[in-house]
Chains A and B, each alone.
Chain A
Amino acid sequence: EPEVTQTPSHQVTQMGQEVILRCVPISNHLYFYWYRQILGQKVEFLVSFYNNEISEKSEIFDDQFSVERPDGSNFTLKIRSTKLEDSAMYFCASSESPAITYEQYFGPGTRLTVT
């Protein structure tokens, strides 16, 4: 069964450093998403991406965040200057067209720890 993969599984970084979280969505999916989950809290939407551009983003997704689809398979989330409060699980998800199905497939997540 096809699945979304994410690397690394755990990333430790120092405050102020840049991090790039990587995702490989399911190959025939066209819509991509990033979510985060701070420990013990709700899953929160960050951004959605379609046709090489951001389609929706939340208030969390400020200028410190960016997304990119550098090639035909990877989808990345970059945090330019990490803060302590960026420590969380980051989930990538992908889906077919929402006109067909709302079902999103989530990856296993990357645990980001900012020290």
Chain B
Amino acid sequence: GESVGLHLPTLSVQEGDNSIINCAYSNSASDYFIWYKQESGKGPQFIIDIRSNMDKRQGQRVTVLLNKTVKHLSLQIAATQPGDSAVYFCAERGGSYIPTFGRGTSLIVHP
């Protein structure tokens, strides 16, 4: 079946570095993608989204890149801070308002 997944389960970076978290999706009908952040003991928190008619979208310190050719999504975090330590999920939607989540990547930021 269709699935959304992540390449790396854990990413460790130094404070101040840029972080890149990757996600592969297989549903070619997906037209909307979302990145969520989940801190320990909390629910997922919306970070940024992108529609399939775009290939890049920027937020505050975050950038999402979408490559539909290879069905790849990435989240770039600039100047990573200890407060960015969390699990990051990508999710996709295709024909429904309900997101399908990937497993998540744990980002660990070392001071």
Contact: B42 with A108, CB < 8 Å?
yes
Chain A residues contacting B102 (CB-CB under 8 Å) are 42
Kindly state whether residue A105 has any CB partner on chain B within 8 Å. Answer: yes
Chain A residues contacting B45 (CB-CB under 8 Å) are 106
Contact: A107 with B101, CB < 8 Å?
no
Kindly state whether residue B99 has any CB partner on chain A within 8 Å. Answer: yes
Q: How far is the CA of A43 from the CA of B89 in the complex (A)?
A: 9
Contact: B101 with A105, CB < 8 Å?
no
The listed residue (B34, B42, B103) touching A41 by CB distance below 8 A is B103
Q: How far is the CA of A91 from the CA of B32 in the complex (A)?
A: 22
Chain A residues contacting B103 (CB-CB under 8 Å) are 41-42
Counting chain A residues whose Cβ lies within 8 A of the other chain, the interface size class is 20 to 34
The residue in chain A whose Cβ has the minimal distance to the Cβ of B3 is A42
Kindly state whether residue A103 has any CB partner on chain B within 8 Å. Answer: yes
Kindly state whether residue B74 has any CB partner on chain A within 8 Å. Answer: no
Count of chain B residues near A, Cβ 8 A: 20
**Interface residues as binary, A31-52 with B (CB distance below 8 Å gives 1, 0 otherwise):** 1010000000111110010000
Contact: A56 with B96, CB < 8 Å?
yes
Contact: A91 with B44, CB < 8 Å?
yes
Contact: B101 with A44, CB < 8 Å?
yes
With a 10 A CB-CB cut-off, give which of B44, B93, B102 has the most chain A CB atoms.
B44
Chain A residues contacting B99 (CB-CB under 8 Å) are 45, 104
Interfacial residues, chain A to chain B (CB-CB below 8 A) = 4, 31, 33, 41-45, 48, 56, 58, 91, 93, 98, 102-109
Interfacial residues, chain B to chain A (CB-CB below 8 A) = 32, 34, 41-46, 49, 89, 93, 96-104
Task: List 30 interface pairs A-B (beta carbons < 8 Å), by A numbering.
Answer: A31-B97, A33-B98, A41-B103, A42-B101, A42-B102, A42-B103, A42-B104, A43-B44, A43-B89, A44-B101, A45-B98, A45-B99, A45-B100, A48-B98, A56-B96, A56-B98, A58-B98, A91-B43, A98-B97, A102-B32, A102-B34, A102-B93, A103-B46, A103-B49, A104-B46, A106-B43, A106-B45, A107-B43, A108-B41, A109-B43
